[in-house]
Structure 1
Amino acid sequence: MEKKEFLKELDEFIDGLRDKRDDVKILNFVVEKLDAIPKDVQKFIADKTGLMEISIENTINFYPKFRNKVKDKSIREVAVCTGMNCGPAGGQDIYDSLAQILEVDNDGVSKDGKIVLSKKRCFGRCPKGPNVSIDGEIYSYMTLEKVKNRLNLK
């Protein structure tokens, strides 16, 4: 589908909504049609609805189903196993240290908004713990230093 065609369809979709500022419905529509949420489409939505772009970004960051759909995404997802084996083997310490370094909020979003940090109970690789998932790829035998290197943190 051509971008111009899609934007016309999106425009009509928004016009048909009872609540024209329902960003969740609008983003669901975009993902359904494009399987992505490009930055220029986010701007189009903001301009059309009167919502601030940061508000749309916050909605994307809040809902996991949208986070992985941002093209040119600068948002990274990091999940640290803190289960029965990984937690005591260093997973909990890795999580706690990252949370402090990144200054995550209650939703696990880093202060700069570029990383979403969460805990997982198990990745099924217990003997290889601590395990950490970065953007969906699981890494074993992790240390805080290894995670920081993968995330380009100082």
Structure 2
Amino acid sequence: MKALWSIPIAAALTCGTLSAGAADPLKQQLVGTWSVISFVNVNERTGKTTQIFGSDPKGYFMFDAADHFSINLMRPGRPKYARRDFPTAGESEAALEGLIAMFGDYKVNESEHSISLHVIGGSFPAWDNSNQKRFIAINGDELTYKNPTPASRGGTAVVTLKRATSATK
């Protein structure tokens, strides 16, 4: 009889160990590559939600253990250039309107559930060498990333991401 009871107990202990990720420090949970699922703007006054880059935005957010980050967000379906080698001014503008990219260093604030980004460079030149704060929540393999002061549209920009799996699968 003891052997029968030990199997479910061992299984429960194993499951508890595997799901203990939520107790890990926020930085440890954040490290890795995250795939964009949605990118919306939320107007707190009206509650209205607007899809910034359409219903199927693309991109990755990458955070490494050495405090470096790279963020690339793109609206799919951006118009292709007429010439492969060099876009017109209008083509460049249209392409950049559907792209957010930045890289730099970051620090996690566990108590605020926030990250401080030191942007070294990116698609918005005004952000180069700036410090920006974002609020994050991680629930299993889902990351919610909030920018309370987006570059345009007011409100709060909210990006929902899923932990990326191997690209070779």
Does TM-score exceed 0.5, indicating one fold? no
What is the TM-score with the length of structure 1 in the denominator? Answer: 0.25
Which one scores higher on RCO, CA 8 angstroms, separation ≥ 6?
2
Q: Which structure shows the higher strand fraction?
A: 2
Larger radius of gyration: 2
Tell me the TM-score normalised to structure 2 length: 0.23
More helix by share: 1
